Amino acid sequence: MNQPKPYMNPYLAGFLLGMVLLATIYITGRGLGASGAFKSVVIATVESVAPQHAENTAYYKDFAEQNPDGPWKNWLVFEVIGVFIGAFFSGVLANRVGLKLEKGPRATTTIRIIGALVGGALFGFGSQLGRGCTSGSALSGMAVLSLGGILTMLAIFGAAYALAYFFRKLWLK
């Protein structure tokens, strides 16, 4: 069996991410972001399952006015689909495709899954409060020297650093 290839140099990966972000801003006039894609999918689902609720709720009405072609035509949906496809092919090329749950030596599988679900839900909720995910708010915001983007990045890393102390025992021996 082939051994997995080593990970890319993080400095090179960061540089390439910056180049992708720069190209995206140049080509589309907007930065990267993923939370808008998930918002589009949720809204499309609500419109399909409960159309009367969607028609009578200001949140869904506002989205419909801003996206007259419908949520499935939002370019962010195609961006996220491309990210999934690209990540899959990257994993295939690096021989890293497989289903496994990574966890620290003191974390149980249940704790890891619950932590991932709770963390993902909180992050999704926070991205809607902050009007964007880390890619949209922090990376794209910092790329255009937005004070909001800089503050978002500081808050993300500051909160992660502060909370790491409490969760480190799950990952360290």
pLDDT tens digit sequence for 105-161 = 888 899 889 989 998 898 888 877 777 777 777 888 888 888 988 888 888 889 889
Average pLDDT rounded to a whole number, residues 80-84: 87
Q: Please give the model's pTM, rounded to 2 decimal places.
A: 0.68
Distance from C-alpha of 55 to C-alpha of 8, rounded to nearest angstrom: 47
Of 139, 114, 165, residue with least CA distance to 18: 139
Q: Rounded mean pLDDT of the chain?
A: 84
Residue 72 DSSP one-character state: G
Of 23, 8, 10, residue with least CA distance to 143: 23
pLDDT given at position 1 = 58
Identify the three-state secondary structure at position 50: coil
pLDDT given at position 157 = 87
* pLDDT band, very low/low/confident/very high, at 12 (cuts 50, 70, 90): very high
Yes or no: say if 149 and 142 are a contact pair by the CB < 8 Å rule.
yes
Distance from C-alpha of 122 to C-alpha of 131, rounded to nearest angstrom: 14
pLDDT given at position 173 = 67
Of 78, 76, 96, residue with least CA distance to 88: 96
Query: Does position 44 have pLDDT exceeding 80, yes or no?
Result: yes
Least confident of 5-9, 12-16, 135-139, 157-161: 135-139
Q: Dihedral of CA 77/79/80/85: which sign?
A: positive
pLDDT given at position 118 = 93
Yes or no: say if 72 and 44 are a contact pair by the CB < 8 Å rule.
yes
